Structure 1
Amino acid sequence: MTDTAPPAPAAPITRSMFVLTLLYGGMTVIAGVLAFKQFAIGPLKVEAGILAFLMLVVISSAIAQIHGKAAADRLVLWGFLPLAFSIVLIGIVLALPASPDMPAENLAAFERVHGQTPRIMAAGPVAYGVSLLLNVWIFNKLRGTGDGGGIWLMARGAIASAISQAIDTVIFITLAFYGEFPIGELLVGQAIAKIALSFVLVPFLIAGAVALAKRLDQR
């Protein structure tokens, strides 16, 4: 009989990977809910879901910087799991009969927010997968052979986010609304707002997320 060596134990997950993955899963779920409010900062007018989506960009970029592109790609793909579960659970809750004690205006508001059309429900995951994987690819490609930290880390984050957010806008709005109404003005407005936010917010958030990840792993 030939002795078979036991499999090598899996490498323990780092504290930074654990914390950032938890945050990532939460952002995938909340992004669709926040999208029902639009906000304005000066001339920028955009749906609030972009804030959660930018956090997905930040977290996936930080994971790519600290743990490598393969880990970031896995994070994006696993992100479909909480997204799918939330969609299914929302569908179940919408199908359940409402309590007669629930005020009618509360029920109407709940159903309006969560009762998205099938096109919107389908467009979200498609745009999510394409744009986030693209963001990780561009962010890693711009890294080159060095560490890619410092100011270049922030610049890479801004460039990758701006391009991926523009693609996300085109995919989502086209799949969700094409044929329902003219989408040209909405496309341009959303793309400009998301690109602007990518350059204003993302560089500093990525630098902060990378610094936080390094501190977590040092403890």
Structure 2
Amino acid sequence: MSQGEFQRDAGPAPVAASAIAARQLRYFDFVMAAFVAILLLSNVIGAGKVAVIHLPWIGDWPFGAGILFFPLSYVIGDVLTEVYGYARARRVIWAGFVAVAFMAFMSWVVVALPPAPTWTNQAAYETVFGQVPRIVLASMIAFWAGEFVNSYILARMKLWSGGRHLWMRTIGSTIGGQGVDSLIFYPLAFWGAAGWTNDLVLTVLVTQWALKVGWEVLLTPVTYLVVGFLKRREGLDVFDEGTDFTPFRARV
């Protein structure tokens, strides 16, 4: 498909991803920073806690507390792929992966350092920042696989649809990406772990996936606003024609 053959909604002229490899972009760095910040904070604060909500006619229903904010990283991932293309989204995913790895290493080192005799908060510090290697490994693998599935599906659907129906692409990619993320993370992190029955793992897994997709649907108007703003300001609408979709590289 040539550049002139793209069919899409009105807006900035479509360009192939390879045409902007060396181009300076006004907002890309800010979007990448937001992605990494949300990823790190949601992993530190919410990943290991099971909260509960009372549903009418159902009763108490458990869910992972990270669901409240972690899906924002998928929304930003959608924005990155939609506006800047798969290659730049891939670069951001790798940046996030390395940031999470360093966070886990830093947490391990700081928690392991012997506390001063006058500092009495070691137990609380270990509770908050102590990292279980199994959970860290599960989180990193699930994030890496889920984000790449999400970005790949969205980029491919953009080509198939000729750039139309953004809502279909963002929701469709989230169904796939978040499905892979949840299917990897919860069994790998909690199957057979103390306090986690097999039924609880499956319940939280399905609930997480459904809530993440639901978040994506609810945030679709916001996604449209952010995507429209960035495309207008950057003056581009990237299509991944001829893109090498391998995840095993970080070069644009």
8 A contact 1:127–1:172 mirrored in 2: yes
Q: Any conservation in 2 of the 1:139–1:157 contact (CA below 8 Å)? A: yes
Change (3 A) 1:40 1:177: closer
User: Amino acid of the residue matched to residue 146 of structure 2?
Assistant: S
* 8 Å CA contact 2:39, 2:73 repeated in 1: yes
Shift of 1:63: 1.1
Structure 1 stretches of 5 or more lacking a match? 1-9
Correspondent of 1:189 among 204, 219, 223: 204
Q: Deviations over 1:46-70 (max 9, x none)?
A: 2232344212211111111111112
Residue in structure 2 matching 1:138, options 153, 162, 170: 153
Match of 1:162 among 154, 169, 175: 175
Q: 2:36 aligns with which of 25, 30, 35?
A: 25
Note closer, same or farther for the CA distance 1:207–1:191 as it changes in structure 2 (3 Å cut): farther
Give the whole-Å Cα distance in 1 for the aligned partners of 2:233 and 2:113.
42
Change (3 A) 1:154 1:45: farther
Taking only aligned residues, the RMSD between alpha carbons, in angstroms, comes to: 2.4
Deviations 1:70-96 (A, max 9, x none): 221222122212111111111111122
Percent identity over the alignment is 27
Pick closer, same or farther for the CA change 1:141–1:209 going to 2, 3 Å: same
TM-score using structure 1 length: 0.81
Q: Does 1:147 align with 2:166?
A: no
Is the helix fraction higher in 1 or 2?
1
Q: Secondary structure at the match of 2:70?
A: helix
Distance change >3 Å, CA 168–CA 202, structure 1 → 2: farther
Shifted more, 139-148 versus 109-118: the winner is: 139-148
Q: Is the 8 A contact 1:135 1:160 kept in 2?
A: yes
TM alignment of 1:1-219, pairs within 5 A: 11-35=22-46, 36-40=48-52, 43=55, 45-104=62-121, 107-143=122-158, 144-148=160-164, 152-180=165-193, 181-199=196-214, 200-214=217-231, 216-217=233-234
Preserved CA contact (<8 Å) 2:178 2:212: no
Structure 2, unmatched stretches of 5+, are 1-20, 56-60, 236-252
Give the structure-2-normalised TM-score.
Answer: 0.71
Amino acid aligned to 2:124? A
| 1:42 to 1:147, Cα distance in 2 relative to 1, 3 A | farther
Amino acid paired to 1:48: A
